[in-house]
Structure 1
């Protein structure tokens, strides 16, 4: 029989007694141990933080605007073309002289 072993880590926290009592009450009301309650609550909050930081939400109007820009991008003007040309020159010069040190 092949059983998978999942690695587990420990998290500990010291909290004021009134906070502990509140956590115990909430855990009991939800039918979980304090540890289960803390892990579930912390995981839910962690997932929300990650989503808030990594996901970009657009309104339908803004989504449509973005799609139109991607399908029909603006033509670069003279200043942008000059900047792109300058960038290519600098980039090529850096590739040729990877390390330049002069005392």
Structure 2
């Protein structure tokens, strides 16, 4: 819920030519200059945020990822050696009581 206490003020200084163009666009949409600028900025922000946060996959890409999750490949020799080195470092650091990657000890059911 928007109450007067929940609002922020944003101000801009723009060249007169820009202000005239923005006002013309606002008039064409039937909104005030302020409403037009807020709506335009919000639309741009939502597009930018979506572009940066959402990953789009084709049907083939999605199927490949699901297949990899359902049937993971066996670890190769390099991965096995790396995991052994990791386990050794965990033992040396005193973290051998927890399974690798666990934040807290797991409770058995």
For normalisation by structure 2, the TM-score amounts to: 0.79
Unaligned runs of 5+ in 2: 96-109
Instruction: Map 1:1-103 to 2 at 5 A.
Output: 5=3, 7-95=6-94
CA RMSD of aligned residues (A): 1.8
Give CA deviations for 1:52-76 in whole Å, capped at 9, x if unaligned: 1110000011010111000001000
Q: Report the Cα distance in structure 2 between the residues aligned to 1:43 and 1:92, rounded to whole angstroms.
A: 51
Secondary structure, counterpart of 2:73 in structure 1: coil
Give CA deviations for 1:21-70 in whole Å, capped at 9, x if unaligned: 00000001001101000000000010111111110000011010111000
Secondary structure, counterpart of 2:41 in structure 1: helix
**RCO greater where, 1 or 2, for CA within 8 Å and sep 6 or more?**
1
